[in-house]
Amino acid sequence: KRLKRHQRGIYLSAARAMLFNRVLAQRVEEGSWNRLLPGERVIFSGSRSGFSQAEFDQESVRRFQEMDLHPSGPLWGKGLLGSEGEAAALELRVLEPWQEWRQGLEAFGLKLERRALRTPVAELEWSRKGEILHLGFVLPKGCFATTLLREFIDYRLPFRDNST
């Protein structure tokens, strides 16, 4: 089906985000989203540039702990993965079942990019009045409040037996 350019862009962005989220979900599940893996491609805070290293020195670890460097995940497209070693192996393992999607994104000419797996939250404020929680915070450009809020909310609904 032929789509208008804007619609096609939305679908392509959604596909890239879904693949990125798969990598992030795996890293969250195994507890590696907030640590440096060997071969990690790190992103400078407030930037899209970074570097990868087989092992990180004390200075890089300090900058990581101060939220100046962040682990990253792929937004799929043509080009080099950017990560190496253990980090690259994890990403490729998670995305292996999505080979057709990856090829499709490359066929549309998208370039592989990297995004941070974590985001610093600034000016966090909260208050509670009864059962109502009020939150205030500032996120960097391109980050979504809904993503942060999802981490605060337990979506499991209490079981109700309506048979009685």
Query: How high is the pLDDT of residue 164?
Result: 46
pTM: 0.81
Query: How high is the pLDDT of residue 26?
Result: 95
Pure H helices in 31-144: 58-65, 85-95, 99-107
Query: How high is the pLDDT of residue 157?
Result: 55
Euclidean distance between CA atoms 28 and 158, whole angstroms:
24
10-residue averages of pLDDT along the chain (164 residues)? 84 94 93 93 89 90 94 96 96 97 96 91 90 87 76 62 50
Euclidean distance between CA atoms 27 and 89, whole angstroms:
12
Cα 49 to its chain centre, rounded Å, is: 15
Euclidean distance between CA atoms 127 and 130, whole angstroms:
10
Euclidean distance between CA atoms 159 and 115, whole angstroms:
38
Query: How high is the pLDDT of residue 46?
Result: 82
